Structure 1
Amino acid sequence: MANDANPKFEIPNEMRDFAEKSVEQARKAFDSFMDAAQKASTTLESQQEEVGERARQANASAVAYAEANIAATFAYAQKLVRARDLHEMVAIQTEFAKSQVETLTKQINEKGQFSGRRPETK
């Protein structure tokens, strides 16, 4: 009777396989994009030697932050497509949201220190 109150929503293997392939294709497309972005970044740096060290560091950290954030998103997507039921999906989403808030807070603090300014607090 208790099982009737909480029906289990099973995700078919074919759907998870399809989603996993889609995520992998997106990851490959992103990797190609990141290669192009890094090449453009390198080209820009070589053309603007007069740009100060802070600007170069800001550029490198921005690319690193973007790469880390996208990698975390792909890892989240991989976990999500492998979820067996709705409860597991909610747990994965909660873990991801918490992790992203912590990461964003850390990145904001690092950027504040990098720029020589402290983040504003209220």
Structure 2
Amino acid sequence: MDQDGRDRFEIPKEMRSVAEAGFDQTRKAFEHIIANAQQTATTIEDRGATVRANAKEITTKAVSFAERNVSAALDYAQQLVHAKDLGDVLRLHSEYVQGQMKALAEQAAELGQVVTKAAQDAVKPKS
């Protein structure tokens, strides 16, 4: 080939078409991957917000229960200080234990409901 033959070299149309189709497919696949990555990132952010909100609710409940239990214990201690005899002490103790058992059962049930809701929210698909 002479210099003129090298200057006129062209890629055949069929090869160009195949290459362009390959690039188009690659671009579409890349755009699809990016769109999925963005959607996944958004979902993770949404779930993170849900998990944080539920964790805050659980923590708030636990602190509230602790405050109530400590207050009940302090009230019980104060009542014991003012007990007149052993009968009063036994009655106060019985009332305190029964009240705390009931309160703890209610608190456990309430906390169980909140934790169950949090778990369901964590796995629930976002619409």
**Pairwise TM-score range, normalised by the shorter structure:** 0.5 to 0.7
Q: Can you give the 5+ residue segments of structure 1 that lack an aligned partner in the other structure?
A: 1-48, 118-122
2:104 alignment counterpart: 104
Distance 1:52 1:89 in 2: 45
Q: Name structure 2 gaps, 5 residues minimum.
A: 1-47, 118-127
Amino acid paired to 1:64: S
Cα deviation 1:4-48 (Å, max 9, x = unaligned): xxxxxxxxxxxxxxxxxxxxxxxxxxxxxxxxxxxxxxxxxxxxx
1:53: which partner in 2?
A: 53
Secondary structure of the 2:83 match is: coil
Q: What's the % identity of the aligned pairs?
A: 33
Supply the distance in 2 between the matched residues of 1:89 and 1:67 (Cα, whole angstroms).
24
Count how many residue pairs are aligned between Structure 1 and Structure 2. 69
Q: Aligned runs of 1:1-122 on 2, under 5 Å?
A: 52-116=52-116
Counterpart amino acid of 2:80? Answer: L
Distance 1:63 1:104 in 2: 13
Higher helix share: 2
Cα RMSD after superposing both structures: 1.7
Distance, in Å, in 2 between the alignment partners of 1:62 and 1:97 is 20
Deviation at 1:71, TM superposition (A): 0.1
Cα distance in 1 for partners of 2:92, 2:71 equals: 15
Structure 2 distance, partners of 1:72, 1:53, is: 29
Query: d(CA) in 1 for partners of 2:65 and 2:52?
Result: 20
The normalised TM-score by structure 2 is 0.51
SS in structure 2 of the partner of residue 106 of structure 1: helix
User: Within 1, Cα distance between the matches of 2:99 and 2:60?
Assistant: 22
The structure having more radius of gyration, on CA atoms, is 2
